[in-house]
Amino acid sequence: MKKTFITVMALAAFAMLLVVPAQAQMKTELGFKGAVNMANLSGDVTDSKMMLAFGGGVFAKIMPSPQFCIQPEVLYMMKGCKFDDIGTTTDAKITLNYIEVPVLVKYMIPTEGNISPSIFAGPAVGFLMSAKAKATEDGTEGDMDIKDYLKSIDFGVAFGAGVDFAVGEKGKITFDARYTLGLTNGNDVSAADAAAAGMDVDDSFKNGVISVMVGYAFPIGQSEGI
């Protein structure tokens, strides 16, 4: 029920962001994208390594002028990290699944032709949907649900650059590369659970994800003045 509520609220917020520019007759585009993520955890995490993960979702481009736009997104994003050869554990992985809502401010660099480069930055909030730790030890595999030990909301900031390629009369193929820096300490373990697991209740770790994204966008509204 909680997962459904968070998903519905995220989609409702995204729909509201589309209604406002439509009423104001701003130029607006809607699109979808997929992502390849290179994720890791920083902080009190020993010997963690970057993990290949995936993501994707929908976005809108709200353009009050040709050079600037606001780009809200609703994305499913996999994050976490992996570990190799830790004692008798030959392989371990922490997989965190989020519904993430970035709101990016983009500057479209003026160019001629069908290519439109851009730079962007903005806040991002992630809602933790599931979290698992999986390990192989002495040839035996096991996994554990760790969602109850983690913060349910992750605030961060995303920044990067991209380029759009016009295709046909209206559509665009979009590429972007970004880094999403988590600002929230993900540790939410209680003192009792920390003691039982041999952890420090004050341990801190944060998400960090490099993403390469590709998508397609098409116009859904445009005023005569833009």
DSSP 113-159: SSEEEEEEEEEEEEEEEEEEEEEEETTEEEEEE-GGGB-SEEEEEEE
* In the chain, % of residues over pLDDT 70: 77
- Tell me the CA distances in angstroms from 137 to 83, 91, 108, 143, 200, one per residue in order: 12, 7, 50, 11, 23
Question: Confidence band (pLDDT; 50, 70, 90) for 17?
Answer: low
Name the pairing type of β-strands 140-145 and 171-182.
unpaired
Does residue 189 register a pLDDT over 70? yes
Radius of gyration of the chain (CA): 20
Mean pLDDT of the chain: 84
**What is residue 204's predicted lDDT score, i.e. its pLDDT?**
85
Question: Confidence band (pLDDT; 50, 70, 90) for 223?
Answer: very low
Give the whole-angstrom CA distance, residue 27 versus residue 215.
19
User: Which comes out higher in pLDDT, residue 45 or 25?
Assistant: 45
Q: What are the structural domains of the chain? A: 2-19+32-219 (2.40.160.20)
User: Which comes out higher in pLDDT, residue 53 or 170?
Assistant: 53
Average pLDDT over residues 188-213: 76
Written as one letter, the residue type at 222 is: Q
